[in-house]
Structures are given as structure tokens and as C-alpha cells.
């Protein structure tokens, strides 16, 4: 355990010293992943589906606020929708505007949560976000997670309806709009996921704030189980065709990720818990103190000593506990004696 704690301290120290360089690199990689995913899922406009444009946009996002990354990703998706059909782009713009008003009203600082939720939905691991945000966020984070799920389902609806839209007449604008809206509103899987994730965030948040031992571990396990149960109930009621094996494996991965977050954010030693009681003029206080598991990262210091030599003499002087030692040769014994006194 000591080795892991030393590794944690070294990681924190490395990040604090190189934060100026690490954060832009992380933003660049995340932005590149987001834009490449949008182009890969849609890809209807060839001018946007270009590696050079993706690199330039990702490089710009590495120095811009996180909200700009979300805005540019929305613009990329709208351009692809417009290349498919102007009516589809109009529906997408309306959905983005509604999400923008809801998101920036309640959870404007969680733009990364929206993008990560949509990306994890693509790789079939969305179960990580509600547990992680329940541990490090607040119940309001459920709004950002819900927005991410809606964006993913919107893109999925556009992709699934693309063959039908391609066969429709250009004059049938209302039919195209109705097709996208009906596909989005009739998506029971989206409603079940939003409900399950919102309840999971709230449950994990409430449990991890309780004054009980191993509250974070209890919160993450309980959240994973509740999330899985709600998804299974929704699958039985609305036939969402959810893969049970994928949900179980995703929940296990979510618990592992949550344990890593706990190790870096809430690593405490419950064996040394203390209960303290004190009072002032108005109140009695009963405090439960749980110490953090801390260890100082070992450092190695190498000191190199270079001896200084005088040219043309063999005399050496040294100081040891206040005494003076003199080494001479018979030829210069008298000169050294005079110099000493």
C-alpha cells in the first residue's frame, strides 16, 4: 500500500508541476476524439470530414474554454445534418437550442460531462458517468449526463433515418421533420437511460456524504446495482433491447473507474478513526475524524564533491572539530610553519 501511496503523491506532484502543459494536451486529445467521432458517425459533408480540419479545430480547443469544444462539436454535427437535409439540420438546431437553455441554466460548468457521456455511449460504457459524477459532482450533474444521452440518441436517430430520408422527395419537408422528431420522442431507451442515470447520481451522492465507514465504496456498489436494476426494469416494460451482459460488464468497469477516483480523491484509513467531543458557549459538538492515508514521496539527492587542488604545491589543509592539520614535505616545512602562524 505504501508503494501505491507514493505513486499517487508522485502523480499529483508531476501534474501540479506540469499542469500548464498537461491540460492543453488533454483538451487536444479529447477534442480530437470528439470531432473524429462525429465525423465517423455522420460523415455526410466531405469538406468537414477532413483530418486537417479536425486537427486544427482540436488544436484551437486546447487553448479555449471547455464550452467552446462542445459548441464546435455541435457545429460539426449540424453541418453533416445540413449535407443530408436542411430539415434534419433544422430539427438538430432546435434540439441543441433547448439543451443549451437547460444545460446553461442548471449545469453550465459540466460541458466535459456532456461530451464524455456521449462518447461513452458510443463505446457502450455510459454507466461510468452517473457513478463518477455522483462521487465527485452534485445531483445537478444529472442534467449534464441527460444532455449527453440526448445528443447521442439524436445522432443515432439521424443515422438510422438517413436511408429513409434519402428516398424521400425534396418537397416532403414536413415528412422529414416528423420522421426525426418521432424517432427521438419514441425512443424509450433514451428515457430509461436518463431516468436510471439521474436516480443513480442522486443515490451515489447521498450515500457518499453519509458519516459511515467505507461510504464511497458502499455508494459506488449501490449505485451500480440500482442503475442496473432500473435499466432491466425499463427493458422489461418498454422492450429497449438492452444487452444484459453488456450492462453487467459496464457496471463492473464503472466500479473499477470509481475505485481509481476514490484512491486519488478520498483515500482514508478507517482503522484510525477518532470521535471527538467538545463544546462552546452555545453548542456541544460530536465530531468523527477519519485521517487521510498520506505518505511523503521518497526523493533521492545526489551530491557531487569535486576536490580543489593547488597547482605547484602538495600542501593540504583540513578542519576537523576545531583543529588544524598540516602536511608538509621537508623542502617547504619552514614556509608552511610561518604561514600557519
* Tens place of pLDDT per residue across the chain (341 aa): 778 778 888 888 888 898 889 999 999 999 999 999 999 989 888 888 889 999 999 999 998 888 899 999 999 999 999 998 899 999 999 999 999 988 888 877 888 999 999 999 999 999 999 999 999 999 999 999 999 999 999 999 999 988 888 888 877 788 888 999 998 888 899 999 999 999 999 999 999 998 888 899 999 999 999 999 999 999 898 888 888 888 999 999 999 999 999 888 888 877 788 888 888 888 888 888 888 877 765 555 556 666 655 444 444 444 444 444 444 444 444 444 444 33
- Angstrom distance (rounded) from CA 226 to CA 203: 9
- Angstrom distance (rounded) from CA 238 to CA 119: 25
Q: Supply the pLDDT for residue 325.
A: 43
Residues 6+ apart with CB under 8 A from 56: none
Q: Supply the pLDDT for residue 135.
A: 93
- Angstrom distance (rounded) from CA 224 to CA 201: 10
SS3 1: coil
Residue 123 near residue 90, CB atoms below 8 Å: no
Residues 6+ apart with CB under 8 A from 197: 126, 129, 130, 142, 145, 146, 149, 227
**pTM over cut 0.85:** no
The cell numbers describing 253, all together, are 468497469
What is the signed CA dihedral for 159, 236, 116, 83, rounded to 10 degrees? 10
- Angstrom distance (rounded) from CA 45 to CA 334: 96
Q: Supply the pLDDT for residue 261.
A: 92
SS3 245: helix
Q: Which own/partner pairs from 3-12 qualify as long-range (CB within 8 Å, at least 24 positions apart)?
A: 4/263, 5/267, 5/293, 5/294, 5/295, 6/295, 6/297, 6/298, 8/263, 8/264, 8/267, 9/295, 9/296, 9/297, 10/297, 11/264, 12/264
State residue 276 phi and psi, 5-degree precision: -115, 140
Q: Supply the pLDDT for residue 331.
A: 47
SS3 282: coil
SS3 41: helix
Residue 31 near residue 69, CB atoms below 8 Å: yes
Amino acid at each position: 500500500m505504501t508503494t501505491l501511496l507514493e505513486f499517487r503523491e508522485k502523480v499529483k506532484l508531476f501534474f501540479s508541476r506540469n499542469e500548464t502543459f498537461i491540460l492543453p494536451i488533454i483538451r487536444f486529445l479529447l477534442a480530437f476524439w470528439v470531432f473524429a467521432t462525429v465525423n465517423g458517425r455522420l460523415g455526410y459533408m466531405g469538406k468537414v470530414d477532413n483530418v486537417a480540419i479536425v486537427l486544427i479545430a482540436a488544436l484551437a480547443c486546447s487553448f479555449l474554454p471547455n464550452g467552446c469544444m462542445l459548441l464546435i462539436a455541435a457545429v460539426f454535427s449540424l453541418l453533416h445534418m445540413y449535407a443530408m437535409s436542411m430539415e434534419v439540420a433544422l430539427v438538430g438546431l432546435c434540439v441543441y437550442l433547448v439543451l443549451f437553455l437547460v444545460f446553461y441554466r442548471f449545469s453550465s460548468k459540466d460541458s466535459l460531462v456532456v461530451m464524455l457521456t456521449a462518447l461513452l455511449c458510443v463505446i457502450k460504457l455510459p454507466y461510468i458517468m452517473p457513478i463518477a459524477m455522483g462521487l465527485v459532482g452534485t445531483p445537478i450533474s444529472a442534467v449534464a449526463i441527460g444532455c449527453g444521452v440526448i445528443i447521442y440518441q439524436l445522432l443515432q436517430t439521424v443515422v438510422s433515418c438517413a436511408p429513409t430520408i434519402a428516398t424521400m422527395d425534396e418537397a416532403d419537408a414536413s415528412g422529414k421533420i416528423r420522421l426525426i422528431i418521432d424517432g427521438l420522442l419514441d425512443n424509450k431507451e433514451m428515457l430509461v437511460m436518463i431516468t436510471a442515470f439521474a436516480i443513480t447520481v442522486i443515490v451515489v451522492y447521498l450515500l457518499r456524504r453519509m458519516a459511515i465507514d467505507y461510504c464511497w465504496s458502499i455508494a459506488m456498489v449501490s449505485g451500480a446495482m440500482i442503475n442496473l436494476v432500473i435499466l432491466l426494469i425499463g427493458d422489461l416494460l418498454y422492450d429497449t433491447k438492452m444487452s444484459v451482459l453488456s450492462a453487467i460488464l459496464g457496471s463492473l468497469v464503472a466500479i473499477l473507474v470509481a475505485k481509481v477516483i476514490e484512491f486519488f480523491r478520498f483515500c482514508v484509513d478507517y482503522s484510525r478513526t477518532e470521535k471527538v467531543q467538545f463544546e462552546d458557549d452555545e453548542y456541544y459538538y460530536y465530531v468523527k475524524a477519519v485521517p487521510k492515508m498520506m505518505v511523503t514521496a521518497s526523493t533521492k539527492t545526489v551530491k557531487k564533491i569535486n576536490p580543489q587542488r593547488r597547482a605547484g604545491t602538495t600542501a593540504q589543509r583540513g578542519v576537523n572539530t576545531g583543529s588544524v592539520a598540516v602536511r608538509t614535505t621537508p623542502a617547504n616545512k619552514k614556509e608552511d610553519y610561518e604561514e600557519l602562524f
